[in-house]
Structure 1
């Protein structure tokens, strides 16, 4: 799986974890140097509280492009720290 924003690869891995049709990327497969922390957070009843990232590529910032669970619930420990994306093209 590969995530691309404006021609720049943000993440690429053949070891994603799929939960609720979202691919969660291992942290070491994501170019976090292109990210900044977002103030957004959401709560999933079974996964816990998600934190979000903004990404900047080529001078353009996309807010809340990715999310992760820094302290996932016991039911979602397998994706704790893993990063999921939306608002960009995802390729297999």
Structure 2
């Protein structure tokens, strides 16, 4: 069990071999045992997934502005598109991350709440609350979590 209050700030990047599966719009977006987790105080882990494991045929560069993370740098966004269905700005990447997070370059993260389902080692993920956050909550992490309205001191 990991307590997110014990995660560091600034965040840490950990290589991970958890079995990850993400389904969206009736398709498998990714299935891999290779990921990078960003671990930050009071945040559930955010998983970054290798480009070669992603079904990039479902990803279309999203219009609009990039965002900026004080730790990782400038993020570019993608819409997920399957047939006539589209989920706007559901996936992001850092093409040129900060030096501290250089291993993330070109890897993809996503908002679990916008997917049909995300699984870690066969366990269905609970999305971190708040539309800004991309954390993955499983039974292996203990809160409270930033974004939880029951803990406004963390918002």
Structure 1 equivalent of residue 119 of structure 2: 91
Separation (CA, whole Å) in 1 of partners of 2:62 and 2:24: 17
Separation (CA, whole Å) in 2 of partners of 1:13 and 1:77: 21
Aligned with residue 79 of structure 1, among 92, 104, 126: 104
Give, in angstroms, the shift of residue 70 of structure 1: 0.3
Q: Which runs of 4+ in 1 moved over 6 A?
A: none
Structure 2 equivalent of residue 42 of structure 1: 67
TM-score after normalising by structure 2: 0.57
The structure with the greater share of residues assigned to strand is 1
TM-score after normalising by structure 1: 0.93
Please tell me whether residue 31 in structure 1 is matched to residue 47 in structure 2.
no
Write the deviation string for residues 42-84 of structure 1: whole angstroms up to 9, x where unpaired.
1001100000000112421000110000001001111111001
SS class of match (2:62): strand
Unaligned runs of 5+ in 2: 1-19, 40-44, 121-155
The higher radius of gyration belongs to: 2
Structure 1 equivalent of residue 33 of structure 2: 14
Aligned residue-pair number: 92
Q: Which has the higher contact order (CA 8 A, sep 6+)?
A: 1
